[in-house]
Amino acid sequence: MSGDNPPGRPSPVRMCVRCEQVTDEPVLVHEVHSASGPGWNVYACRRCAPRFPPPVDVFDLLRGD
């Protein structure tokens, strides 16, 4: 993920939801949606990310896919 940044922009730094270590290569493992305000993303480090199921698109759930 760090290679996806434009030149001059620092890599994003996030805390892993599982091991609570700070990583500069976060992996999106879940999106939390909220009806009363903005949602948020949940990240894991590259080592912990395979322990999570793939993120689900809520619109797929509404369509019944």
Output the pLDDT for position 1.
43
Q: Do 29 and 47 form a contact (C-beta atoms < 8 A)?
A: no
pLDDT of 15 strictly over 70 = yes
The whole-number average pLDDT for the span 5-22 is 88
Question: In terms of pTM, does the model score above 0.75?
Answer: no
The amino acid that residue 12 corresponds to is P
pLDDT digits (tens, 9 = 90+) for 18-52: 999 999 999 999 988 888 999 999 999 999 999 99
**CA distance to 6, 27, 49, per residue, from 58 (Å):** 29, 19, 20
CA–centroid distance for 43 within its chain: 4
3 state DSSP class of 58: helix
- pLDDT over threshold 90, residue 16: yes
Give the pLDDT confidence score for residue 25 in this predicted structure.
94
Instruction: Using the structure block, give the residue that is written with the tokens 């434009």.
Output: 6
